[in-house]
A and B are shown apart, each in its own frame.
Chain A
Amino acid sequence: MQLLQSFIAQDIIAHGLSMGADFVDVFIEKTQNEGFVFKNSRAEDTQSGIVFGIGIRLIYGKQALYGYTNSTDREELLRITTLLGARIGKENKTVAPINFEKLVYPKIPTVIDREVDAKYKLSFLKKIDEQLRSDQKVSQVMLNYSRKNQHVEIYNSEGLIATEVRPYIRLFHQVVMKDGNLQTEASFGPGAIGGWEFMEGLDTNEICETLLKQANTTLYAAPCPAGKMPVVIDNAFGGVIFHEACGHLLETTSVEKKASVFWDKMGEKIAHSALSAVDDGTIAGSWGSLSIDDEGMPTQRTSLIENGILKRFIVDRLGETKTGHKRTGSGRRQSYKFAPASRMRNTFIEKGPHDLSDLILSVPNGLYAKKMGGGSVDPSTGQFNFSVQEAYLIKDGKITTPVKGATLIGTGPEVMTKISMVGKNLELMAGMCGSVSGSIPTTVGQPCIKVDEILVGGQA
Chain B
Amino acid sequence: MKKIMERVMNNVSDLKADGDLILSTAKSLKMSSQNGSISEYKVSSSQILGVRIIKDGAVGISYTEALDDDSLKFMVKQALENAQANEPNPLEKILDISGAVSDEASYPESATDIKLKTQKALELESEVKARDPRVVAVPYNSYSENEYMSHYLSSKGRSTTYSDKIYSITSSALLDDKGKKANYYDYHIAHTFADLQWNKVVENSLFHARNILEEKALPTGKYHVRFSPDSLKSLIECFSNFYSAKSAMDKVNPWANNLGAQVISKDISIVDGPDYAQSFRISKFDSEGVLQKPLTIVGDGVLQSFLHNSVTANYFKTQTTGHASRGASSSLNVSGTHFLIQGKNQKPLPPKYMEVIQMDGLHSGANRVTGNFSVAVKGYLWENGQKTMTFGNITLSGNLMELLKNVEVVGDKVEASTDLSFFSVPLVFNELSIAGA
Contact (Cβ within 8 A) A259 B372: no
The answer to whether residues A184 and B369 also contact, given A49-B329, A405-B374 and a CB cut-off of 8 A, is yes
With a cutoff of 8 Å between Cβ atoms, the chain A residues found around residue B84 in the complex are: 118
Give the Cβ gap from A338 to chain B, nearest Cβ, in Å.
9
Question: Are B137 and A259 closer than 8 Å at their CB atoms?
Answer: yes
Q: Which of A304-312, A374-382, A442-450 contacts B (4 or more CB under 8 A)?
A: A374-382
Q: Find out whether the CB atom of B252 lies under 8 angstroms from the CB atom of A386.
A: no
Residues of chain B with a CB closer than 8 A to A397's CB = none
Asked if B216 CB lies within 8 Å of chain A CBs, one says: no
CB neighbors of A among B101-121 (8 A)? 114, 118
Bound complex: CA A39 to CA B62 (Å): 19
- State in angstroms the CA–CA spacing of A12 and B39 once bound together: 21
Q: Is A407 an interface residue (CB 8 A)?
A: yes
- Contact A140:B250 (CB < 8 A) given known A49-B63, A69-B46, A458-B435: yes
Q: Is the CB of B370 within 8 A of A49?
A: no
- Residue from A42, A63, A226, A258 whose CB has the most chain B CB atoms within 10 Å: A226
Contact B374–A457 (Cβ < 8 Å): yes
Contacts of B392 in A (CB 8 A): 383
Question: With a CB–CB cut-off of 8 A, which chain A residues contact B370?
Answer: 183-185
Stretch in B226-234, B268-276, B284-292, B359-367 with 4+ CB within 8 Å of A: B359-367
Tell me the smallest distance from the CB of B183 to a CB of chain A, in Å.
4
B residues less than 8 Å from A84 (CB atoms) = 41, 43
**Which chain A residues border B183 with CB–CB below 8 Å?**
259, 378, 380-381
**In the complex, what distance in Å separates the CA atom of A374 from the CA atom of B398?**
18
Determine the residue in chain B with the shortest Cβ distance to A434: B363
A83 within 8 A of B: yes
Expressed in whole angstroms, the Cα–Cα distance for A266 and B34 within the complex equals 22
Q: Does B384 contact A (CB under 8 A)?
A: no
Given A70-B47, A119-B85, A226-B220, A47–B61 Cβ distance below 8 Å? Answer: yes
Contact check, A261 vs B39: say whether CB atoms are below 8 A apart: no
Residue of A with least CB distance to B114: A87
Mask, A62-88, CB within 8 Å of B = 1, is 111111111100000000100110010
Distance in angstroms between the alpha carbons of A149 and B38 in the assembled complex:
35
Cβ of A385 and Cβ of B375 under 8 Å apart?
Answer: yes
With CB as the reference atom, state the residue of chain A lying closest to B50.
Answer: A49
Interface residues of A in 105-135 (CB under 8 A from B): 117-119, 122
Nearest B residue to A256, CB-CB:
B34
Residue-wise, chain B 42-73 has the 8 Å CB interface mask toward A (1 for contact) of 11111100100000000111111111000100
A118–B395 touching, CB < 8 Å: no
Query: Do A39 and B250 form a contact, CB below 8 Å, given A46-B61, A84-B41, A373-B365?
Result: yes
B87 near A: Cβ within 8 Å?
Answer: yes
**How far, in angstroms, from A87 to B44 measured CA to CA in the complex?**
14
Most buried by B among A49, A68, A80, A117: A49
B contact residues around A257 at 8 Å (CB):
34, 137, 139
Q: CB distance A140 to B251 under 8 Å?
A: yes
Say whether B10 faces chain A, with CB atoms less than 8 Å apart: no
Contact of B397 among A48, A53, A65, A459 (CB under 8 A): A459
Q: By the criterion CB–CB under 8 Å, are A70 and B66 in contact? A: yes
Pair B41/A176 contact, Cβ less than 8 Å: no
Instruction: Evaluate whether A455 and B250 lie within 8 angstroms (CB atoms) in the complex, with A43-B86, A70-B66, A83-B43 already known.
Output: no
Residue in chain B with minimal CB distance to A261? B181
CA distance A39 to B250 in the complex (A): 8
Asked if residues A50 and B64 are in contact (CB atoms below 8 Å), the reply is yes
In the bound complex, residues from chain B placing their C-beta under 8 Å from that of A386 are: 361, 364
Note all chain A residues with C-beta closer than 8 A to B394: 409, 455, 457
Contact with B along A24-52 (1 / 0, CB 8 A): 00000000010011011011111111111
| Bound: A36/B61 CA distance, A | 10
- B85 near A405 with CB under 8 A, answer no
State which of A40, A47, A374, A382 has its C-beta within 8 Å of the C-beta of B364: A374
Closest to A139 in B: B251
Taking CB atoms, residues of chain A closer than 8 Å to B118 are 87
Query: Which of the residues A48, A183, A254, A459 comes within 8 Å of B398, measured between beta carbons?
Result: A459
Compute how far the CA of A163 lies from the CA of B66 in the bound complex, rounded to whole angstroms: 20
CB-CB under 8 A from A69, the residues of chain B are: 44-46
Interface residues of B in 139-153 (CB under 8 A from A): 139
A214 within 8 A of B: no
B207 at the interface (CB under 8 A from A): no
Task: State whether A376 touches B361 (Cβ < 8 A).
Answer: yes
Q: Mark B72-109, 1 if CB is under 8 A from A, else 0.
A: 00110011011111110100000000000000000000
A381 surroundings in chain B (CB, below 8 A)? 174, 181-183
Question: Given A48-B62, A140-B252, does the pair A63, B38 have CB atoms closer than 8 Å?
Answer: yes
CB of B192 within 8 Å of the partner chain = no
Contact A70 B86 (CB under 8 A): no
Q: Are B39 and A87 in contact (CB under 8 A)?
A: no
- Considering the chains assembled together, what is the distance between the CA atoms of A83 and B43 in angstroms? 8
Range of interface residues on A (Cβ < 8 Å): 35 or more
- Given A176-B251, A184-B369, A261-B181, decide whether A455 and B395 contact each other with a Cβ distance below 8 A: yes
B411 close to A (CB within 8 Å): no
Q: Could you tell me if B361 and A407 are in contact, using CB atoms closer than 8 angstroms?
A: yes
Is B251 in contact with A226, judged by CB distance below 8 angstroms?
no
**Distance A393 CA – B44 CA, assembled complex (angstroms):** 52
Residues of B within 8 A of A49 (CB): 50, 62-64, 75, 78, 329
Bound CA span A219–B363, Å: 20
Q: A410 CA to B87 CA in the complex, in Å?
A: 48
Asked if A387 lies at the interface with its beta carbon under 8 angstroms from chain B, I say: yes
Determine whether B136 belongs to the interface, using a CB cutoff of 8 Å to chain A. yes
In the complex, are the beta carbons of B139 and A259 less than 8 A apart? yes
Considering only residues 169-221 of chain A, those with a C-beta below 8 Å from chain B are 176, 183-185
Structural contact, A46 and B395, CB atoms closer than 8 A: no
- The reply to whether A407 and B397 form a contact with Cβ atoms under 8 Å apart is yes
Tell which of A51, A80, A410 has the most Cβ of chain B within 10 Å.
A51
For A373, the chain B residues whose CB sits under 8 A away are 364-365
Residues of A within 8 A of B85 (CB): 36, 43, 46, 117-119, 122
Whole-angstrom CA separation of A454 from B380 in the bound complex: 23
**Hey, which chain B residues are within 8 Å of A65, CB to CB?**
40-42
A33 to B328 Cα, complex, angstroms: 14
A257-B139, A259-B139 are known contacts. Are A457 and B376 too (CB-CB below 8 A)?
yes
Residue from A63, A66, A406 within 8 A of B42 (CB atoms): A66
Please tell me if B254 contacts chain A, counting CB pairs below 8 Å: yes
Assembled-state Cα–Cα distance A99/B330 (Å): 42
Q: Does A236 contact B (CB under 8 A)?
A: no
B388 at interface by CB-CB < 8 Å: no
Chain A contacts to B: CB under 8 angstroms: 33, 36-37, 39-40, 42-53, 62-71, 80, 83-84, 87, 117-119, 122, 139-140, 142, 176, 183-185, 226-227, 254, 256-259, 261, 337, 339, 373-376, 378-383, 385-387, 404-407, 409-410, 455-460
For the A-B complex with A37-B331, A70-B66 known, give 11 more contacts whose Cβ atoms are closer than 8 Å. A44-B331, A49-B50, A49-B329, A51-B65, A69-B46, A84-B41, A84-B43, A258-B174, A409-B393, A455-B394, A457-B375
The 8 closest A-B pairs by CB, nearest first: A457-B395, A374-B364, A226-B435, A385-B361, A118-B85, A49-B63, A259-B139, A407-B374
B-side interface residues toward A, CB under 8 Å? 34, 37-47, 50, 59-67, 71, 74-75, 78-79, 81-87, 89, 114, 118, 136-137, 139, 174, 181-183, 217, 220, 250-252, 254, 329-331, 360-361, 363-365, 367, 369-370, 372, 374-376, 392-398, 433-436
